Structure 1
Amino acid sequence: MTDLRSILDEAARQGLISPEAGGRLLPFLTERGVAVIRPQLALAAEGQAAEGQAWSDTETPRFVRGFHDVLITIGVVVALVGLWGLAPLYAVPPAILVLSEILVRRQRLALPAVGLTIALFCWTFLLMSRVFTPWTSEIGAGLTQFVAGFPILLGVYYARYRVPLSLALAIMSALALALTLLLRLVQWLSGNPGFFVDHLALLAAISLLCALGLFATALYFDLGDRLRRTTRSDIAFWLHLGAAPALLYSTVSLMSFGEGGRIFDLANMSARTPVVVATVAVLMLIGLVIDRRAFVTSGLLSLGVAIFSVFRQGSATVDTYIFTTLIIVGAIVLIIGTGWMPLRRLVLRALPPAMANRLPPG
């Protein structure tokens, strides 16, 4: 109460209120529970609130901030689709840049920034597909030049607008470029342009190494922001979203070769179902450890395909194995989703303290 009286007296001395008004305001504010919190106490309270939020959920996506962003993003998508259909391909980038200057650089709208980044990625894909011819059986210069455009354009876009998704896509495309260069080097050393057609296991092993590199990069951003309060966490979110399927498909490809070193085709998908299930289970465990639901979600589609193939090989009708697959995958999602925090606490207790203290709190 003393602090409140001194504040009102100071306001009266500065002419903001009259002394009589200050005298009447004091009991009025006191009766309604108004109190003055010292700055140190306020900072402590904010820290406790932030820490509590971090402990309850550290994976809140910051690119969805309200329906205003959703509405603007819908307008951006509709306008760009219309422009794409009526104007030449080269008319799209100026529109993306103008919208980025207004919506991203000036107004700092998060979800429209994601939409514009995806639009730039799609435009780059179409442009590179027209300029170069990457779709051949041989890993040649066309594929390398096709991939090289992505990290350049997306990196420049990030340097200007600082959109986390653009940096994540630039990193992923840079790793894809490194993969193509490594494959071309191995192909050149072998002297056989169709080397990887006959050595699919080696192709899968190299792809797995690049997928592990992507996962390590995501962890680098993640562990640098343990409580996930900065854009490093947003960058890690997108990197994990790409790392999980990359790890899954490269691991399944490496472990799913039949006779003659040939990978199983889709007709024999049930033959590698145990590999898919085991890989997805490991990914789910990793997702629990690093507290990334996005990492877990990326593998559920492949798990559904694997379960679907098992029922398809049996005598069940089409409706039976489709709906059974949906029930199983849905049950897994519900169990993991509702029990995420208790399961994660169990996992963290089993880890060494030195490792657990570097991870997001559970």
Structure 2
Amino acid sequence: MTELRSILDEAARQGLISPEAGGRLLPFLSERGVAVVGPQPIRAVEGDAWSDTETPRFVRGFHDVLITIGVIVALGGLWGLAALYAVAPAIIVLSEILVRRQRLALPAVSLTIALFCWTCLLMSHFFPPWTPTSQSFGAEATQFVAGFPIILVAYYVRYRVPLSLALAIMSVLAFVLTLLLRLVQWASGNPAFFLDHPVALALVSLVCALGLFAMAIYFDLGDRLRRTTRSDIAFWLHLGAAPALLYSTVFLLSFGEGVRIFDVGNMSSRTPAVVATVAALMLIGLIIDRRAFVTSGLLSLGVAIFSVFRQGSATVDTYIFTTLIVVGAIVLIIGTGWMPLRRLVLRALPPAIANRLPPG
């Protein structure tokens, strides 16, 4: 009885049923002998479920894909013909129909992204985050970021889309980053402090990237079996945390020499840092069982390998295709050997840590 009540309470917290419906369902199910499965069957299900622990829950069928195509095309046409303010009501109306009523997952993702893009255009209209002549982080950047958490949290409260909460968390950390940058800049008394001390910028960025990764791990540890929306939220946070960690770490290891990570012409000095950082991210992804975390760094790894071959005497075609072969081989090795590699990694970890991670 107690277990059944806790399950219904969890369903109400996730917005699957209303609290009133949960209260009525409890006696209804109890009178008909509905019981909660015991711990042994749960362990059996757990053991069978880890052949693929990261199936995207926002892809449920081609029906969702078809509706999503319609959403993208309709909003794109509206965006081109109508004013910016006319797009937001369209997003809300579509969200009420497709997300709140029909519970379509992939359209919910597309509508969340559309809302994020709309918020970006809206905030940039009132608070341009930077100007061509700007040498400091001013109030405009903070004001620009401040609107994202408010709008995205309100959208999450209404529609419970995991991506909206993940984007809200990322925008909060971006807001904190701008505040930290302005605080350090103000304390130094130098408006161009970060232009003169790029390593300090890299350190502040790395702190915020670690904060984002910590939030992703927090949601992951709260759902070890990957059965609730906490896992979906962690999925999106990991997609953002991996490149944030990569760029800030490489920028720091290269002693602030060049912010543009993808500038191939100046990549040779940073290639070892990129390769080492991506290797570390792959190891972390194996430990926490997040392929999405590994995937986020592969593009930068490709750029690093590309620059290595570019320094030699190979022709353009040669080092482009060689890069593709090397990156493809790495993806295939990690993808096909994910579970055996992860079992090796888990056996090397202390039991206190391994028992809190998804089973291998």
How far apart, CA to CA, are the structure 1 residues paired with 2:194 and 2:348? 42
Aligned counterpart for 2:334 among listed residues 317, 333, 336: 336
How far apart, CA to CA, are the structure 1 residues paired with 2:35 and 2:183? 60
After TM superposition, give the deviation of residue 55 of structure 1 in Å.
Answer: 2.6
Is 2:103 the partner of 1:105?
no
After TM superposition, give the deviation of residue 76 of structure 1 in Å.
Answer: 0.4
Contact 2:251 2:257 survives alignment (8 Å): no
How far apart, CA to CA, are the structure 2 residues paired with 1:264 and 1:107? 44
Q: Match for residue 25 of structure 1?
A: none
Distance 1:74 1:148, change over 3 A: same
After TM superposition, give the deviation of residue 193 of structure 1 in Å.
Answer: 1.1
Q: Match for residue 34 of structure 1?
A: none
Aligned counterpart for 1:95 among listed residues 90, 107, 114: 90
Letter paired with 1:160: R
How far apart, CA to CA, are the structure 2 residues paired with 1:181 and 1:41? 48
After TM superposition, give the deviation of residue 56 of structure 1 in Å.
Answer: 2.1
After TM superposition, give the deviation of residue 222 of structure 1 in Å.
Answer: 0.1
1:139-178 to 2 correspondence within 5 Å? 139-178=137-176
How far apart, CA to CA, are the structure 2 residues paired with 1:286 and 1:304? 19
Q: Match for residue 192 of structure 1?
A: 190
After TM superposition, give the deviation of residue 87 of structure 1 in Å.
Answer: 0.4
Is 2:45 the partner of 1:47?
no
Q: Match for residue 131 of structure 1?
A: 126
Q: Match for residue 3 of structure 2?
A: none
Q: Match for residue 356 of structure 1?
A: 354
Q: Match for residue 286 of structure 2?
A: 288
Distance 1:250 1:44, change over 3 A: closer
After TM superposition, give the deviation of residue 135 of structure 1 in Å.
Answer: 1.6
Letter paired with 2:234: A
Contact 1:54 1:361 survives alignment (8 Å): no
How far apart, CA to CA, are the structure 2 residues paired with 1:114 and 1:46? 33
How far apart, CA to CA, are the structure 2 residues paired with 1:204 and 1:195? 13
Contact 1:215 1:243 survives alignment (8 Å): yes
How far apart, CA to CA, are the structure 2 residues paired with 1:82 and 1:149? 25
How far apart, CA to CA, are the structure 2 residues paired with 1:166 and 1:341? 31
Instruction: Render the CA deviation track for 1:293-314: whole Å, top value 9, x for unaligned.
Output: 0000000000000111111121
Is 2:245 the partner of 1:247?
yes
SS at 1:114 equivalent: helix
Distance 1:52 1:150, change over 3 A: same
Q: Match for residue 325 of structure 1?
A: 323
SS at 1:239 equivalent: helix
After TM superposition, give the deviation of residue 315 of structure 1 in Å.
Answer: 1.1
How far apart, CA to CA, are the structure 2 residues paired with 1:185 and 1:39? 58
Letter paired with 1:219: I
SS at 1:93 equivalent: helix
Contact 1:288 1:347 survives alignment (8 Å): yes
Is 2:263 the partner of 1:237?
no
Q: Match for residue 12 of structure 1?
A: none
Instruction: Render the CA deviation track for 1:135-183: whole Å, top value 9, x for unaligned.
Output: 2332001100101111111011001100000000000000000000011
After TM superposition, give the deviation of residue 42 of structure 1 in Å.
Answer: 7.5
Q: Match for residue 78 of structure 1?
A: 73
Instruction: Render the CA deviation track for 1:203-250: whole Å, top value 9, x for unaligned.
Output: 000100100000000000000000000000000000000000000000
How far apart, CA to CA, are the structure 2 residues paired with 1:132 and 1:40? 56
After TM superposition, give the deviation of residue 59 of structure 1 in Å.
Answer: 1.1
After TM superposition, give the deviation of residue 319 of structure 1 in Å.
Answer: 0.3
Contact 2:127 2:143 survives alignment (8 Å): yes
TM, length-normalised to structure 1 = 0.86
How far apart, CA to CA, are the structure 2 residues paired with 1:76 and 1:264? 36
Q: Match for residue 297 of structure 1?
A: 295
Distance 1:262 1:280, change over 3 A: closer
How far apart, CA to CA, are the structure 2 residues paired with 1:63 and 1:326? 29
Count the aligned residue pairs: 322
Q: Match for residue 313 of structure 1?
A: 311
Instruction: Render the CA deviation track for 1:234-277: whole Å, top value 9, x for unaligned.
Output: 000000000000000000000113xxx64386322011111100
How far apart, CA to CA, are the structure 2 residues paired with 1:44 and 1:192? 61
How far apart, CA to CA, are the structure 2 residues paired with 1:119 and 1:299? 25
RMSD of the TM alignment (CA)?
Answer: 1.7
Letter paired with 1:263: G
After TM superposition, give the deviation of residue 50 of structure 1 in Å.
Answer: 3.0
After TM superposition, give the deviation of residue 191 of structure 1 in Å.
Answer: 1.2
Letter paired with 2:125: R
Q: Match for residue 179 of structure 2?
A: 181
Contact 1:256 1:264 survives alignment (8 Å): no
After TM superposition, give the deviation of residue 82 of structure 1 in Å.
Answer: 0.4
Q: Match for residue 121 of structure 1?
A: 116
Contact 1:96 1:116 survives alignment (8 Å): yes
